[in-house]
Structure 1
């Protein structure tokens, strides 16, 4: 059953951010080509299954074995945490803290500025898989799974549950394995669901907007990392075919932004930074490549 969160009036800070984003949106457009900005390795991980960024420009990268490492922009290790295995399981909050899911213990942990790890949210009988913190209002979105069924739960920045999204208006389950999650500029919740072989998008009220299943009737989508940008584009990794798909905010396919012809090898994770650069992590190495695709 879908529950709808109460919409709060925007603060002056949010209104200012909205005005700034509106200005950026008017001045930015897709570039005719994708340019490589930098490449670095994340020490202490076997591959880069997920990337999360804060305003400190100190990215976090993780692999499938629970190694979670923070580096500087040159790839020098700043800190390392051993966590339980998962995929899109960490995010940097509006306040700059790192929070991450612990599937085994069914909790979400927070790392405070003094590097103390504290238990932040308990998820009951549900395994938390993926997590995303909005830098606009601080809301936290968590993709969860129990008995082969998935859901998305929204919490406010203090960890209070305010919304559950599980079924569409016909009572059908929306998710099976929501292993990567993000939020778009229009408030849409965008989920990469491996078992559904689809990107599943709902609006801020939890109503299903669309599902993207790839290109062509014979195309089986195996979606992994997912991100959005200031123009509302949805970027999703299709690692099997080594591509990054670019969609508009209504789910229309725009292009294969990155392909093997551009030297991309098994992209698994994506993230867009405050300078509108695209960060891409790989599943077969511990390399991260940063691209510029907007002008």
Structure 2
């Protein structure tokens, strides 16, 4: 009788100095994204329901999470990038990504994945690399002469790669086509002032808004690059220090604030809604977020250990009559104190 054994391979890529480990297990892809849900059929419930938790091997902290499939995520600290399943198994690993540790050169939003399953990540030279089929590594874009790449995000709606770059306290967001052509640069507000200091993380809302976790604010522009708002304080007027960020099925913006050590919930127009209670998740310092919109699951990563929790706070409900719905179509049963 022959037994199949999944071996962990350690290989040296021909195009990068980053060390790669790969467990020959993952070959499935996620089904196509479902049709958008009717918002009036969704309701919010608090505290969040804990669905699962795991310890990720191969990282010291969960600084960034990228959702891959309902059973797989990419997790990174400042030096390691790991593909893991819901058991916390290390299926794929990139090591020695960054040697710098000072606050201005640390890269947080280091990776993203597109609909084809290709991984984009920033290496120790601030170049953006692309991994196809967990084997071939190519250079997608090299770092600019005076600007460093600090975060990447692949738009699920267009396939474009959004890149946050900065240097000496000035940042911008560049948009690249799938063929690595620069198609847009977002840098200035309506008055000509700079929008960003140092983009840490990028995500995209359901309406195409580009949502950036900057050094001292959540900065939101529309798809055309026009500044919509910057969120800098939460009640009672305290400044924020944002890190991990995502958007959910209701177009709400969720962001980890390392100053208050909480997850803030903001609506799509920049109004503070509430803090997301995480007591039931047993995560005392939330650092990273990713949202599975197919299953309405929020993935939360911890800063002080390698723990990730999966929870749900948006659930389906039966359709209500017009008299039971609010003027904007949202169910009146939704409890969301402002």
Which TM bucket (shorter chain)?
0.7 to 0.9
1:288 is aligned to 2:288: no
**1:167 is the counterpart of 2:180:** no
- Say what the alpha-carbon RMSD is for the aligned residues: 1.8
**Counterparts of 2:281 and 2:132, CA distance in 1:** 39
2:232 is aligned with 1:213 = yes
Match of 2:137 among 94, 100, 117: 117
Residues 171, 39 of structure 1: alpha-carbon distance in 2 compared, 3 angstrom cutoff:
same
Per the alignment, residue 277 of structure 2 pairs with: 258
Between stretches 134-143 and 38-47, larger displacement belongs to 134-143
Structure 2 unaligned regions, length at least 5 = 1-31, 99-105, 316-338
Paired position in structure 1 for 2:62: 48
1:20 equivalent among 35, 47, 54: 35
Q: Which runs of 5+ in 1 are unaligned?
A: 1-15
* Contact persistence 1:61–1:68 (CA under 8 A): yes
2:288 corresponds, among 222, 245, 269, to 269
* Greater gyration radius: 2
Equivalent in the alignment of 2:178 = 157
Report the more deviating stretch, 47-56 or 171-180.
47-56
CA distance in 2, matches of 1:211, 1:253: 12
Q: Does 1:80 align with 2:93?
A: yes
Shift of 1:32: 3.7
After superposing on structure 2, the runs of 4+ consecutive aligned residues of structure 1 that deviate more than 6 Å are: none
Match of 1:235 among 254, 269, 273: 254
Question: Is 2:48–2:278's contact at 8 Å kept on the other side of the alignment?
Answer: no
Q: Report how far residue 221 of structure 1 moved.
A: 0.4
- 1:108 partnered with 2:113: no
Whether the 8 Å contact between 1:59 and 1:71 is mirrored in structure 2 is yes
Aligned mate of 1:176, from 183, 197, 200: 197
* Contact 2:48/2:280, CA 8 A, preserved across alignment: no
How far is the alpha carbon of 1:248 from its aligned partner?
1.0
Provide the rounded CA distance (Å) in 2 between the counterparts of 1:267 and 1:50. 11
Query: Number of residue pairs matched?
Result: 274
